[in-house]
Amino acid sequence: MSKETAFYPRLTALTDEWMDLFGYWAPLNVTDTLEEYRAVRETAGLMDFTMLRKVDLDGPGALELVNRVVTRDVSKLEPGQVAYGALCADDGKMVDDCTVMRRDAAGEHVRFCGANDRDYEIFSRLAAGTQISVREFTDDMPHLCLQGPLSRQMLQPLANKDLSNASFPYYRFREDVEIAGIPIFMTRLGYTAELGYELWVERDRALGLFDALVEATQPQGMKLIGMTALDLFRIEGGFIIGGVEYDPTVSPYESGLGWSVALEKGEFQGRAGLERDRDVTTLRLTSVVLESGGDEASGASLSVDGAEVGFVTQAIVSPYLGGKTLGLAKVRKELAKAGTKVTAGVGDDAVACEVVRHPVYDPERKRAKES
């Protein structure tokens, strides 16, 4: 049964269109999808991301333990820095894509965020018999994402600290920020390829934060965002999601996270399988544009001269591309380069399709990094 987040009482008053996302109710649409899209691309949008799983590991050796589980070499993180990567099972296949946050110089306090209950189970099992405590606190600390080019401009008057790019760079977090007088754990990242912030808050202050943000930012053009619009952002921005781009049979190399695998760091969970898959996994994640198909192109097979070479994971009608059909796709690695012509099987139709630069929207992430 889907759970309600702390923000559900406010959102349910605005929409009756809902979906289950990782076991929680998430709004499909709050207003109009294209209005929500334009807000994030031009001003800002606010969305509930509470359903992401949150785990704290505290005690001597906490960072070392996390480093034995995730694919990134998080031992190199500085305090206040965030690393994105994969968490794999013993066979080297995907459990989750995740972020790791180093909270102190000694490496005794680490915050982890993913989307799979197995994450907590894995950390708890490995911490058994050590001095490391493992706490899952997803419901205790709900969080909102404010994303868009005006997100900092909207937040700064509410904040007690400087949120400038110099003071608060991309892929960093801060624990000393208050928004409208409410203490916040704040990260500078997001899922839209725009400047953006995540605001984690104690549950008993959640509705106060929501109300303060809406009151201050809605008059400036902020829109509340549903998951339908989020699919537009994530596919234009090349972001993956569990259950679509990967499942427990899929390697990070196939799901766009091969770059995050630090085989050189030594032994870690799934390393042998990852070393094997580095060479034998034939598919790579990329972006494709189809002549037609829209949402119905999701799952379409891709072929060259009648031979299957991959498939579309999910497709959308892309506002950024003027209404063209854009999809994330898995394509044989030798063909996963811009300009490759393929054919997509959409229903009974053979649709012309081309591999394009990946990701399509701001591939160098300048809007998120440098704004």
Eight-class DSSP state of 294: G
Torsion of CA 76, 82, 86, 90, to 10 degrees: 50
Question: Distance of CA 52 to CAs 120, 134, 165, 243, Å?
Answer: 12, 16, 25, 14
Residue count of the chain, please give it.
371
Residue at 257: amino acid letter: L
Q: Which residues pair with 261 in a beta bridge?
A: none
Residue type, 260: S
Dig out the tokens for 187 from the structure: 């990260």
* Amino acid 107: pLDDT: 98
Q: How confident is the model at residue 327 (pLDDT cuts 50, 70, 90)?
A: very high
pLDDT tens column, 285-315: 999 999 999 999 999 999 999 999 999 999 9
Q: CB-side exposure of 22: number of CA atoms within 13 Å?
A: 20
Task: Tell me the CA distances in angstroms from 38 to 9, 15, 221, 230, 354, one per residue in order.
Answer: 25, 19, 10, 12, 26
How far is 149 from 128, CA to CA, in rounded Å?
Answer: 44
Q: What is residue 12's predicted lDDT score, i.e. its pLDDT? A: 97
Task: Please state, in angstroms and as integers, the Cα–Cα distance from residue 346 to each residue in 10, 302, 349, 350, following that order.
Answer: 39, 9, 5, 6
Cα-based angle 40, 164, 43 (whole degrees, multiple of 5)? 15
Local confidence band at 371 (pLDDT 50, 70, 90 cut-offs):
confident
Quote the pLDDT of residue 362: 97
Say which residues have a Cβ less than 8 Å from residue 322's Cβ, sequence separation at least 6. Answer: none
99-113 burial, b at 16+ Cβ within 10 Å, e below that, comes to bbbbbeeebbbbbbb
- Which residue(s) pair with 273 in the sheet? none
Domains (range + CATH), the chain: 8-50+139-234 (3.30.1360.120), 53-136 (3.30.70.1400), 282-361 (2.40.30.110)
What is the reported pLDDT for 370? 87
Q: Is the pLDDT of residue 86 over 90?
A: yes
Nearest-angstrom CA–CA distance, 114 and 123: 12
CB 124 within 8 A of CB 135: no
pLDDT tens-digit profile of 176-211?
A: 999 999 999 999 998 999 999 999 999 999 999 999
